[in-house]
Amino acid sequence: MSAAPSLSEPHSDVASIPARVERLRSAFDAGRTRPLEWRREQLQGIRALVRENVDVLEAALKADLGKPNLEGFLADLGAVKAETDGALKNLKRWTRPQRVASPMNVRPARSRIVREPLGVALIIAPWNYPVQLLLSPLVGAVAAGNAVMLKPSEVSAHTSAELARLAPRYLDPEAIDLVEGGVDETSALLAERFDHIFYTGNGRVAQVVMQAAAKHLTPVTLELGGKSPCLVDADVDMETTARRIAWGKFLNAGQTCVAPDYVLVHRSREDELVEALSRAVEGFYGADPKQSADYARIINRKHHARLAGLLKDADVAFGGKLDEEQCYISPTVLRNVAPDAPAMDDEIFGPILPVLPVDDMDEAIAFVNRREKPLALYIFTKDEEHEEAVVRGTSSGGVCVNGILWHLANPELPFGGVGPSGTGAYHGRASFETFSHRKSVLTKGWRFDAKPMYPPYGRIKTRLIKKLLG
């Protein structure tokens, strides 16, 4: 597989951004986005955009990331379709007012929670899954009845260009807009007032987003990352464990925010795991993954150089082959990795997997807890007590037991981080709730007026009310 032809960084007219945001606000203020019929039409448009342009979008993903077509279909396009199907199926139920009880002191009354749209939302997407991570949050924003400004990553330039071309053909351009570009365009967007900002990316940029949002007291959802650990117990089926870890790690050449970032394996089985991982990689991609049509590439030379630096002076168990011209790094496993080694510092976000031995699950839990809270945590074990100890004894955005990535595939499970790995959540109903305000509504009845609550109070009335309500 050769490197994809480069595409110049996309741009939008920065001077036009304030007017474009204002147009979205005018559409929202006019009530354009509130009717359920409009929401259904946009959700159907998102689904049609993906369904009718599979070849085009897969080609863009291959040009940007070298993604195999099936990988692009499942992880990017298929994920958007599943989100859209779920929202269309549940939209009426999600938007129905929720009746809640009214306590004795306010009766007669009816109490309910009404979901209302926040207003104009900004969605900023990353480059690693550039279709899914732009359009999946859009599903929630549209289902909730918001106007939306979309900002794809300029790094995945081919996909950005196709989404910019397709969006106005399938979506209401008065209420859903898309701005291409890099730092200048993003900065101009962040200078505007939005009612919610949804950002997926790294913590450094997230700080910039939060600072900009603070000027307008705009709520934010941050989907970040971190060093997601994988804990391997002594009792596992090692061949199955290795296949699952290798698949989740080397999917998209490791450029996945919830990819296993390092493995803590029981010391007695470290050698077996490394050997099984080597067999799994060869089974997936052949003796030379560079020749495999099923193995992606690093997004650009800048990231390739960063990852290559992690291999300097490292103990490479297997892999470690580089080709800067093709932005290729082979699936790589490291051994004898010190806890303070460069590969154990920041999130790797590439096809390099450190393997560290531990004496038992308690040591593994302690190791995880000495570090920042990750977006995902994986544990492979047959011991239910060990499973429960990890779930209760660690903090992470989500946990997947005896699997990798699969907790993302259940729309009933909210997906999000905790602490430095993110704030807020989405997927399924959680997406709808993220872009909604839960408005409390209480309606009093007319048949009884609580005159004892009115002044003048007096000693007797005060004593009676305190006795009744205390």
Query: Active-site residue numbers?
Result: 223, 257
> Which residue carries 């970032």 as its tokens?
261
Determine contact, residues 412/436, Cβ cutoff 8 Å. Answer: no
Sign of the C-alpha dihedral computed for residues 283, 286, 288 and 293 taken in this order? negative
Q: Which two tokens stand for residue 262?
A: 């390092």
Distances (CA, A) of 7 to 44, 148, 449: 30, 26, 71
The pairing of strands 262-266 and 352-358 is: parallel
3-state secondary structure of 86: helix
Q: Which two tokens stand for residue 466?
A: 């305190």
Q: Which two tokens stand for residue 420?
A: 């430095």
Nearest CA to 276 out of 246, 300, 255, 299 is that of 246
State which amino acid sits at residue 95: T
Distances (CA, A) of 315 to 4, 249, 266, 282, 331: 31, 19, 19, 20, 14
State which amino acid sits at residue 320: G
Determine contact, residues 249/284, Cβ cutoff 8 Å. Answer: no
Alpha-carbon gap, residue 84 to 207, rounded angstroms: 30
Q: b/e per residue, 404-437, with b = 16+ CB within 10 A?
A: bbebbeebeebbbbbebbbbbbbbbbbbbbbbbb
